[in-house]
Structure 1
Amino acid sequence: MLRAVVLALLPLQATALTLDMPGNATLTAETVTDPDSYDMPTAGWTPTGLPVLTGTGEVRKQAWRIEASGLTTLQLLQPLGAQLTEAGFERVFTCTDDACGGFDFRFATEVIPAPQMYVDLGDFRFRAFRRDTEEGSELLSLLTSRSSSAGFVQIIHVGPTGSGPATETAAPAMRPARADTAAADDAPFAQRLETEGRVVLSDLAFETGSAQLGAGPFASLQDVADYLLANPTRTVALVGHTDTVGGLDGNIALSKRRAGSVLERLVTNYDIPRRQLDAQGMGYLAPLASNLSDEGREANRRVEVILTSTE
């Protein structure tokens, strides 16, 4: 349910907005509709609905992919937010994944479909802006997320015809702020888990439609076990993911069984206390790659370990 506040936008020519995107960004999708409307969230999702501000006028939607691993969602968002503030936009609302409402927020607001725009339900940021001028009023939202290899930015703008935003890849290429924060494959497991908050257990093997974990041994499970045994007060969640073969409900159940299979292996073979482990499933809602190829579907059939401790 959307709880809307309607904002009438004047059909006057406004000063065009220009956003400088990083040099390693690629525009993956763009649509322009005029006239149209956009319901911009102004607060997080609750069971009573999603509060929105509705703008009418020219609606421009863009998705961008930034080729750099290890970027945080804040690093993706901050430079664009600074440009908007300098251009006279005021921040209306900002939130991160769980604080936004997680799954419910993601599916209550407009998101350009994958693979052009990728949203990790456990790792995204949203920020909403508004600018009022003599020429009219504009709404603009930014949504940032990331995969293991790239960052993703969605921009939705509504305003008078021709008001923008024009986007150019004129800014320097984006790289992680510190090289030691990138989730490099050769970084120690504990460093990746504590820096990034999660690690894909990439050596586990699952077939389509199966929750059965292979015989192993799997080096990633030894890494998880070593970390938990060395940190007995820490807890993790094992989160299963699937490809898109089959329906959503079945895939969520399948992915949770896969995570449960990994949990049982850690308890049985590595003597990890159950109190340190949880198992959950996301189905096909957080892909790492396109499901159009065999390679992409294989990458999407995975289990991740997420650090759930806050201290």
Structure 2
Amino acid sequence: MLLDVSLCTGVSKPAGQSTARQKGPRLISEPLPQGISALTPGGEWATGGAMQLHTVFSLAAAVGLLTVLPATAADVKGAKDPEFLKRITGSEIIWYGFAKFDEMPIALEKVQFDYNTSGFKDTKKQVVEGQRTTIYYKLPGDASTLEAVRQYQELLGEAGYKTLFTAADDNLDDGYNRFVAQIFPQAKKTDGLQYLHEFNHSQQRYAALEGTGPNGAPIYISLYAFIIEDGSGSGYSTMAKEHDIQKGNCILRVDVLQTKPMDQRMSVVKAAEIEQSIAKTGRVAIYGVYFDTDKAEIKPDSDAALTEMAAAINAAPGKKFLIVGHTDNQGGLDHNQDLSKRRAAAVAAALAAKYQVPAAAIIPVGVGMAAPVAPNTDDAGRAKNRRVEIVAM
């Protein structure tokens, strides 16, 4: 089920019973108003008053009664907690990002570098797509990475989430900030975040969890905590000053991805439009050929675009065309080069096998991230860069 309100460390007990509390920061909670009831994780209905909830589950009958906590004054402008997951008491949001549709890599094992090939070893990971929220919290006092990750992990576990992978320090990577480079590549290219991570990775902890939303779709949450040891660069200095980031502070990155299909907003380009664009510019971008993230198998809903591509190519008998695959900048250069080449080859093969295009008329080429048509700084730009092009030879 979907975790829907404030998380805290315990439920109050009657007089005479002890209540164990963890040291360190507590996840935010508030007393329930008198007379309000809510379902506890064990399934019992509990009357409000001074009682505090461990977790409150999303129920239609109770949704109007849930406590919503305001953002703190120190939060960056426009930032807010995920609607079903609240923050550790005393923390503030120092960076916030939201995308209606984006992809999110999930680490499933240690990231390692292969010095023989001067590249990363193949790392087991999962890439999921959907609505994504990314939040960086500065935690209060001397919170540790263990405290930061464990509190969320335990409470999410009680709500039915399962841990896919968790590790810390040298069990996450073999140094040089390689875990962040592979799992959060955009952070390495974002002002402020780049320098926030640059020298602060010797104390790090990660957990990835999977749960189920009210519509039955999977929800993925990743937690990455690290300790500030050093920092430099103008972007980091600005962030450090605005949020009083000090050596020893624990920073927690929380990513929440609610899986859903992408809204198909790009109409299929007709054969006549393809011919006109090629005649005018020598090329045309096609956005209606779909692949799963990090895959090269064409999805069935690509049929309309492939039909129009074939009609345009077959309207020019004797001519040759390049089928060019393009990616965004998520992932490594060599990986994206290979992925784009495999996707272009899949398109060329489909055109020849299913749409009667002469195989000799089309040549697949992959250029990876080398020719963007928009900045890769947000999901809209990255969506424009993930494309197939027909280029006249």
TM-score (norm 2): 0.30
Q: Which has the larger strand fraction? A: 1
Higher relative contact order (CA closer than 8 Å, sequence separation 6+): 1
Max Rg structure: 2
TM-score (norm 1): 0.38
